Amino acid sequence: MYGFHFHTKTLDPSDLRQLMLPASKVWLTTHFHLKFRFPFAAYKNIQRFTYIIKGGLLQSLHLIS
């Protein structure tokens, strides 16, 4: 029952911020791992991105000429 005081204590914004920081760090690291640790998925994303850019450039060239 000694640790119960922490739970009953009202959280002020600074406490909330301290709780939020590690959570956001965890989210960022998992996001980073998902994006960069799986090369195939990242490669497919880049491929799609370049395809979209190329398509947009070709369309704009057709519109100009």
- How many Cβ atoms sit within 10 Å of the Cβ of residue 65? 5
Q: Using an 8 Å Cβ cutoff, are 36 and 42 in contact?
A: yes
Measured in degrees and rounded to the nearest 5, phi and psi for residue 37 equal -90, -10
- Shortest CA distance to 9 belongs to which of 25, 19, 21? 19
Average pLDDT over all residues of the chain: 69
Tell if the pTM clears 0.75, that is, is over it: no
Q: Which residue has the higher pLDDT, 53 or 42?
A: 53
Predicted confidence (pLDDT) per residue in 5-15, tens digit: 555 556 566 67
Query: How many residues appear in the chain?
Result: 65
Predicted confidence (pLDDT) per residue in 25-38, tens digit: 777 777 776 665 66
What is the residue extent of each domain of the chain?
36-65
